Structure 1
Amino acid sequence: MTIQQKIQQLRDELNNHNYNYYVLDNATISDFDFDIKLKELEKLEKENPEFFDANSPTQRVGGEITKNFNTVTHKNRMYSLDNSYSKEDLLDWEKRIQKMLGSTEIEYTCELKYDGASINLTYKNGEFVKAVTRGDGFQGDDVTPNIKTIRSIPLSLKSDFVHNFEMRGEIILPIEGFKKMNEERVENEEEEYRNPRNTASGSLKLQDSSEVAKRPLDCLLYQVVTEERKYKTHFESLKNARKVGFKVPETITLVKSIDEVFEFINHWDQKRHSLPYETDGVVVKVNNLQQQEELGYTAKAPRWAIAYKFKAEQVSTILNKITYQVGRTGAITPVANLEPVQLAGTTVKRASLHNADQIEKLDIREGDTVFVEKGGEIIPKIIAVDLTKRPENSEPTIYATNCPVCNTKLVRTEGDAKHYCPNEFGCAPQITGRIKHFISRKAMDIDGLGGETVDLLRKEGLVKNYADLYDLTVDQVIPLERMAEKSTQNMIEGIQKSKEIPFEKVLFALGIRFVGETVAKKLAKHFKSIDNLMTASFEELIQVDEIGDRIAQSILDFSSDLGNIQLINRLKSVGIQLEVSAESLENQTNKLEGQIFVVSGVFHQLSRNELKKAIEDNGGKVSSSISKKTNFIVAGDNMGPSKLTKAQDLGVEIISEQDFLDKIS
């Protein structure tokens, strides 16, 4: 046997033992014998560096230091899930998908919803390539060195699967491992970690991967994403993923009806506390992958999946004081400051009271004993008051009339749930809030500049708005508290680099009320520049897809404000991208303007994502469902039968992939 063969034999053997122990929970070798073989492999690899393999079992111990985690754009967007809190919600969901598919016979998979940090693993030809956090769904952080230390994640697959694919899963911290970590911290007189989910998520961003290797992290996988058509169902793809080395939970169940879904939910609602991991609900998915494709996605979530959340845990505590927060738009949010109480694994001290109407509806008062739960087991909220424990001297809550920060009289427009502070340019939280929004990842994505630094810069009088950031110099910032030369240099470089951020993100960064990420993209695509947008009339604005009266009026208000006009001019003068770049416009036309397309089936020259992009680049709109407004269906192989029937009934023209390419050529 050659040295290379011996090295490969040891790698295969150790990978197999890892799989048996961490995935199957069935040790086939003692820890001592495993360590002996690992040391033998380490020695051989050290003596023969020409046979180095980044996915060798020896690479799992960590040691790589990551100063900055690179931001990576997801090839396939990581969507959120729509939530349901009742069985009626699930029945409504089923009716919607039955109507869209034209079928009442649909198989479902039921999976437990584990509470951890979402991860996207990329594999090519059976080898692990990279791991990226969910981030905002469009892009996340490359945490590959840290993920390699998690032994239940295969670095090389045991046998043939699909060639190029992404594996989606949840990085979790088992309850037992979490308890042991906290026991060690107590012994070392360190503060305990709050809950397993946050600890798992925080572990992924540790700079030293050898520290990550010490934590008992695990990874449970729940979705295969690939353009290869090897498997016809979600259940089949996961079953085969388990065979090649992935830790797919055995609890996943295939069911034939919504009644069986309810049985699964009822069973695990009772049994979930016996699991080694934290779970907060059940995810129900349409099993057939062709049907998933037909159902498609909304702007935020897949139509073919829904999360059922278990009833949230409730506790009672005393509301000590009601205070008020000011948001970046001037919106006032009342906050309940509570007697600290343990709830769903965390210490809760504060809960949102939403608005004046909510306080009045529940008659919430300072000194009350209140019932608190976590909405979706994440955000604490007050759901009721225990009137039997109300103090005798209790007084009804009188809602704030003035801004808690700048004392400006609050305003509330008809039909608006919230009160607002109108002192837009003089109220500190609004100033810093707008700058923090401007620098955030989904907006200008400025490295080296965080919320605390923004507060510091404002207090020192160096910035009053986001345009001031571009005037900052190293000499101005270094003397400030906690600002070292290197961090200051990184911040200034990050600010300068943000000048390359494309117009659609800049438009979102400006913080125009009601102009979120999706709306900003539509406006940027339609108007092409900030000048065109700010000179557009109300009628021109509402002609844009999904732009209603409220958004149009907000844009007009922004555009007519002298302060905003001056800010835009300053941003122009420093070189911010306030129009769509020439490169982006190069491949864009208006050939398909006003036309609505539905894409269905399997394609050969372009992927589905490339096809949709080509439609949008040429002025068309992509819809996931067929209606009277649909102009064309681009049909590939295996087009959904219900879509075909509906298209024929409505007389919608069906074209091939080649027909479409001819249209835009």
Structure 2
Amino acid sequence: MVAVDDSAPADNPYVADPPTDFDPVGDIDEAAAREQAESLREAIRYHDHRYYVEADPLIGDRAYDALFSRLQDLETAFDLDADGSPTQRVGGDPLDELPEVEHVAPMRSIDQGGEAADVRAFDERVRGTLDTDTVEYFCEPKFDGLSVEVVYEDGVYQRAATRGDGEVGEDVTENVRTIAAVPHRLRGDYPEYLAVRGEVYIPREAFTAYNRERVERGEDPFANPRNAAAGTLRQLDPSVTAERPLSVFFFGVLDASVDFESHAAMHERFPEWGLRVCDRTAVADGIDAAIDYRDEQLDARDDLDYEIDGVVLKVNDIEDCERLGSTSRAPRWAFAYKFPARKEETTVRDVVVQVGRTGRLTPVALMDPVEVGGVTVSRASLHNPSQVADLGVGIGDRVRIKRAGDVIPEVVEVVESAGDGHFEFPEACPACDSPVERDGPMAFCTGGLTCPAQRERSIEHYASRDALDIEGLGEKAVRQLLDAGLVTDAADLYDLSVEALADLEGWGETSAKNLVEAVEATREPPLADFLTALGIPEVGTVTARNLAREFGTFDEVVAAADRGDVGAFEAVPDVGETVARSIVDFFEGEGNRAVLDRLLDHVDPQAAAQTGGDALDGLTFVFTGSLEGYTRSEAQELIERHGGSATSSVSVNTDYLVCGDNPGRRKRDDAADHGVETLDEGAFEDLLADAGVL
């Protein structure tokens, strides 16, 4: 068993081998509850210190969780004052905005360079100013995270702020409070006042695990740990921050009621006060030793559980630092010696399988961050099971990445194999455990709309602008409705009430009422919009309009599918055998039909209007921006009903670009390049009137 140190709380039963079989909360009185809660708080703070600062835990995770849960139960049952309690790490009430706060002292940048000549020039300037032959440097890793100022008064955590512009930052007090490595109270002989600088980051293993969870929930993974940490720290809802695996290293004093002789002494004192520091620091006697330190960290960077992009060299002696002073931007006593960016080659840490809206399963490699095409990425597509096998990609392999345009990067080659064999593609869907079907090189989940990943994406698609355009029902709202149990599929949207929505976090009566009204407005959708909204694989807006025009009613579409009449669908313009078979398969799926039957209890798709002639025959239109008198689909349907064509992009074959409010610049530029006539909504209606359409 790990030994208890001298700083452990005396006579506390929850420190070593703590009991976890507690009496029911209802069986103890308030006095006993208060006494037990205080002992638990004291013990949990000690265990936090052993885990996060000393990296030497005394108890296991299950025992810790049991103590923490008991403390939460006591505070809730007896309404105990939890100010400063470890339980406050679960997050407080959401904020309307992050207010600005002025730093106690400037949080300056650091001069930097990536060549040995740069750091030698820095050393020469320092030695010249100090008039000495050799300078002692305190060397530490340069963490790739987000800098924060954290303030303690009388040992108690007061506030935290981001760096911002160096003078003023964002107040992230409640979010930083949720980080387990940040003590709510200092330990030992701490100063009365202390403002420290730290770097918030997400550990590599935790980042990979969290990305895996996001992918398995059908969410996009974070691009890289630094962006994830920065976005997490700036959340308006502290409970969101609390759910994410943030940690911190402390490395500097901004202001304090105590003096230090050196940066090394400062680094030694921090753990005594409960502040976590990095253990990969060193004191270098002269610049050559400092450069050797940098080279050692460069060799070790891939084995660390946190991202570093260089090292920081600081003149160790504090009095010498004061003599050197600072510019308005950076101290003259510190220099960041940057590593070269990782380019194109990196290590695969995990492979996860993402479930798309149509059930397609896509393997995604989660990797150490690497610079590709000027962008730092930490995930890359493996496309399909066949590519995984062809490449022989396995976890731990070193791979080469390429990135074309703005699309997700892809793995193109295994440079060095870890020797454990390639990733084995699952035979069951990771989201719903339904069997996986292969279609050539691709794989699909057979669960249909019963699959939670497909269900979430299908609801988002159902509400999207190209489908039924339900305003206020984006990705975040859909996930919230699913998590709250208010919806399980698109049919449940029609049973939502203002009262149930208004009770959700972040909602009010007005937003709830707006969503209910937006859903109500879709009860009689145009047939083409409804077919698009169903999310039938291979059926987009153009194909849906063609199906609506050819079949006329939804009943006719279903009847053809029930007959398995692939030929009837192939007779529709631009529908080939693959798309036709996809339509029939969709309606044959039991889960899909169950959701569809429930939808039809609420929704009555309107028959497509019959053709109005060929007044617009041969004319091709493209729309951009929002029209006042029509929805996008209504305008397109009107064009096609009278013999014209509506496409999504401008080309040499386009006759008119119709611009509504807030039109896209790209389409307007393309129209100018191709000499395509541009119409506003009024001119568009004039053209229709001249053609006898209106």
TM-score of the pair, normalised by structure 1: 0.47
TM-score of the pair, normalised by structure 2: 0.45
Q: Which has the larger radius of gyration?
A: 2
